[in-house]
Structure 1
Amino acid sequence: MTSVTKAVGGAVQLIDMIFPGDTNHHGTLFGGVALAHMDKVAFLAAARHGRAPFVTAACERIDFTAPARLGELIEATGRIVRVGNSSVDVEVELVAEELTSGERRLCTRGLFAMVAVKGPDTRLPLPPIESAVKDADDDALHMADIVFPSQTNHYGTLYGGDALKMLGRAAFIAATRHARAVMVMAASDRIDFRAPIREGEMTECIARVRMTGRSSVSILVDLHAENLLTGRRDHAATATFTMVAVDPDGRSLPHGASALRR
């Protein structure tokens, strides 16, 4: 499963694609994988709010009311609902989305208690809920990830190949949600890397639909790096992708395909 996150007006949204390695023999998402991503989005929401390192202290009972199936998107949205001196409570909702139909179902909801680790990078008391960052007023898809050690080179910065994977993933999801069709990458234009992305930073891909054709969509993606402790952001890269709608046999849809008429 690959994961991405989005800041949503005081909340953080983690978007995953469900692949075979994430499912059980019924073809539905493993509960443990779902819990891991709920915990991750709780951490991201806490860290972006408090600008401090956090750990999970507890989570309340979590009941699964609907499955998430192989090939679907899954969204875990974390919102700060309480702020203490050194801890926050994060409410997390898990929603499954069928790619082509757009059908969505609530899978579960849970509450996570996150505690700031005291140290030189932690400023207490934590800021109140009212200071949360507000969502940008546009139709762009904001998606992010975290850079782990396995993704970095000997300089401690993100491999270019992993950055390309993030850019392409954002383009795929933006194109699929726009067209509600099966999309594949047909081409990528020149990609310029402007700044390095360091281990432990959050990456945010901002994907916008530039143009819609009869069976293709052009997606512009900007990649930003954000330091979770300081909030500093750098524009790291820009890329444009052409995504094409295909039929079950992998052939481009015929001209005038209704799936791309918007």
Structure 2
Amino acid sequence: MNLTIEERIKNAETRIFKVVFPNTTNHYNTLFGGTAMHMMDEVAFIAATRFSRKRMVTISSSQIDFKESIPADTIIELVGRITEIGNTSLKVSVEIFQETMFSEERKKSISGMFTFVAIDENKKPIKILD
């Protein structure tokens, strides 16, 4: 099945829901920034792999903006989307939305950009698109 680039981008979009439990919070009882970045990199990796279907490695993260703190006992949704495709690399935008457990309130709280490179079995860069 040969998909267009647009179809592959759409199919690669990755959404993961989690709950902010106390073991992922800092001393302010909000989601620890390092934990948020870990989850964002994981979602970005999944999206990059779903798009390329190749071995992918993170080479950079940039412009991670913490706009709203996320308290414990909050539902979060992480959304990863392919935004740029290069020769051997691609970029994935990741947003974290928070939802109050007992209301319809939802807001974007964190966003960031992650860059990945496709590699072969010898860890050498290879083309994203064949």
TM-score where L is the length of structure 2 = 0.83
CA distance in 2, matches of 1:66, 1:60: 18
User: Which 4+ residue blocks in structure 1 deviate beyond 6 angstroms?
Assistant: none
Structure 1 pair 74/53, CA: closer, same or farther in 2 (3 Å)?
same
Question: 1:110 maps to which residue?
Answer: 112
Matches within 5 A, 1:46-65: 46-65=48-67
SS in structure 2 of the partner of residue 38 of structure 1: helix
Match of 2:102 among 100, 103, 128: 100
Shift in Å at residue 96 of structure 1?
0.8
Shift in Å at residue 9 of structure 1?
4.2
Task: Give the root-mean-square deviation of aligned CA atoms.
Answer: 2.0
Question: 2:5 maps to which residue?
Answer: none
Shift in Å at residue 14 of structure 1?
1.8
Shift in Å at residue 127 of structure 1?
3.6
Gaps of 5+ in 2: 1-9
Query: Relative contact order (C-alpha < 8 Å, sep 6+): which is higher?
Result: 2
Question: 1:154 maps to which residue?
Answer: none
Match of 1:72 among 74, 78, 81: 74
Shift in Å at residue 63 of structure 1?
1.9
CA distance in 2, matches of 1:51, 1:109: 24
Q: Deviations over 1:10-37 (max 9, x none)?
A: 3101211111100112211000000000
Query: Which letter does structure 1 place at the counterpart of 2:28?
Result: H
Aligned residues: 119
CA distance in 1, matches of 2:37, 2:25: 13
- Kindly indicate whether the alpha-carbon contact (under 8 Å) linking 1:79 and 1:90 is maintained by their aligned counterparts in 2: yes
Shift in Å at residue 61 of structure 1?
2.3
Query: Which letter does structure 1 place at the counterpart of 2:40?
Result: M
Question: 1:83 maps to which residue?
Answer: 85
- Kindly indicate whether the alpha-carbon contact (under 8 Å) linking 1:57 and 1:115 is maintained by their aligned counterparts in 2: yes
- Kindly indicate whether the alpha-carbon contact (under 8 Å) linking 2:29 and 2:71 is maintained by their aligned counterparts in 1: yes
CA distance in 1, matches of 2:57, 2:11: 22
- Kindly indicate whether the alpha-carbon contact (under 8 Å) linking 1:96 and 1:106 is maintained by their aligned counterparts in 2: yes
Matched, 1:25 2:27: yes
> Which has more radius of gyration?
1
Matches within 5 A, 1:204-223: none
SS in structure 2 of the partner of residue 61 of structure 1: strand
Query: Which letter does structure 1 place at the counterpart of 2:59?
Result: A
Match of 2:42 among 40, 43, 46: 40
Matches within 5 A, 1:151-190: none
Question: 2:7 maps to which residue?
Answer: none
Gaps of 5+ in 1: 1-7, 129-262
